[in-house]
Amino acid sequence: MPEPRLPGAERVELTGWGRTAPTPATLVPIRGEDDARSALALGAARGVVARGLARSYGDAAQNAGGAVLDMTRADRVLAVDLAAGEVEVEAGVSLDRLMNQFVPQGLFVPVTAGTRYVTVGGAIAADIHGKNHHVAGSFAQHVRWLDLLLADGTVRRTGPDQDADLFWATAGGMGLTGVILRARVRMKRIESSQILVDTDRTPDLDSLMTLLTETDHLYDYSVAWIDCVARGRRMGRSVLTRGRFARRGELASRNQADPLRYSGSVKLSVPDVFPPGLLNRATVTAFNEVWYRKSPRRKRGQLQSIPTFFHPLDGVGNWNRVYGPRGFVQYQFTVPFGREEAMREALVRISRSGHASFLAVLKRFGQGNPGMLSYPSPGWTLALDIPVVTGLAALLDQLDELVVEARGRIYLAKDSRVRPELFERMYPRLEDFRAVRKQLDPESVFTSDLARRLAL
């Protein structure tokens, strides 16, 4: 039979943000519920999966030979309750849009990843976390309800207190339970758009972990940049930044008249001209040395803007192109508290491997949630951006084994290559997820490259 046609549908090659492993699919623009329901007909052969702003790093929003639903045009703000601090939005609304519209009204998103270019649907499907997980949890914990288009074409409203199993399969479920159409989200009240930031430079991993353990509870947001190239006594040296939103009275007098002024924008865009190998051990070592040395040993009460503190890379459009045509892998893993030796061993192996991570950040997670495939769990999490070069797969395989042995896990929104037998040992509620998915979608209408690779 000929492939069904929908307005605007086109055959394209898609990748994740890491620009690895492109696969062809029919990309279908979705403007609302009717479009999404019509697009399910495209799933007869190879299934469908929703896609937002494509900031998952691996193959979660790819579907080789099937249909991929571009949700970014379903981006209306449907209702606002300023008294309750809640917004009702379509799934294609970005966190960037929410910030631009609501920060001037004293509301901030409850959780933001390292980029604001994430849709609300993507934030739920990946159950994103941020610098405040230790006090606020992940994004799904701030969702009152969502409307989900199921494989049979019906729409079901679900939330933590309504059809909870479906909600917690969808939160972190990477789009495999259905298409998120709408959601109601609790926002965070703020008095200003400035962050009051404390900075500490630590000489090694042990001093960083000690400082975070002793003081993390004093801050709403915290994150540490780590030098993953440094060895020996300097291994894990870092720059730790922690903060909270400033109150109006803590601003300079000249800023108190307009304390919620906000502007997030792209300052420049990276052309697609960078050769492979530009980010190598030599260039990253030089950068890390400069970055570490220029950071203050100890600074208190510095005021920073939302883009500077939360999304420094968002000022550079298409920054992923710097890694060249082979792309890069972001590898993020967590090990539980009490298994700090596994984190140390991971850093030893990374620093000795010859592979250089341009960006490496360490955070502490608080309590997890009931999400069947939700990533955060109590412990230490490290995220690495590593260029794709010969030998990288062997290093990451070794790290996978180390993480599993420590009873940790990797993050699906970043993954593009973990072995399925190891993944199964990382998520104790995987069979619960499979059961919900099989009940609602026995024909696997909703699928993806990631789903097939891991037999989800």
Residue 456 lies in a domain: no
Residue 172 lies in a domain: no
Q: CATH no. for residue 225? A: 3.30.70.2520
Label residue 293 exposed, middle or buried (CB < 10 Å: 0-12, 13-18, 19+).
exposed
Question: In 222-259, which positions are buried (b, 16+ CB within 10 angstroms) versus exposed (e)?
Answer: bbbbbbbbbeeeebbbbbbbbbbbbeeebbeeebeeeb
Predicted confidence at residue 382, as pLDDT, reads: 97
Compute the distance between CA of residue 90 and CA of residue 288 in angstroms, rounded to an integer. Answer: 41
Percentage of residues in the chain with pLDDT exceeding 70? 98
pLDDT tens by residue, 337-375: 999 999 999 999 998 888 877 779 999 999 999 999 999
Could you give phi then psi for residue 291, rounded to 5 degrees?
A: -60, -40
Q: What is the DSSP string of 162-223?
A: BSHHHHHHHTTSTT-S-EEEEEEEE-EE-S-SEEEEEEEEESSHHHHHHHHHHHGGG-SEEE
For residue 342, give the H/E element and its range. helix 340-353
- The whole domain housing 221 covers 194-419
User: How many domains, in total, are found in the chain?
Assistant: 1
Average pLDDT over residues 301-322: 93
Predicted confidence at residue 44, as pLDDT, reads: 64
Residue 410 lies in a domain: yes
Span of 239-253, 292-306, 352-366, 381-395 with lowest mean pLDDT: 352-366
Residues 409 and 333 sit within 8 Å (Cβ to Cβ): yes
Give me the chain's average pLDDT, please.
94
Residue 111 lies in a domain: no
Q: How far apart are the first and last CA of the chain?
A: 28
Residue 189 lies in a domain: no
Predicted confidence at residue 85, as pLDDT, reads: 98
pLDDT tens by residue, 93-128: 999 999 999 999 999 999 999 999 999 999 999 999
pLDDT tens by residue, 50-87: 999 999 999 999 999 999 999 999 999 999 999 999 99
Residue 414 lies in a domain: yes
Beta bridge partners of 182: 90, 147
pLDDT tens by residue, 5-27: 678 999 999 999 999 999 999 99
And the tokens for 148? Answer: 């989900």
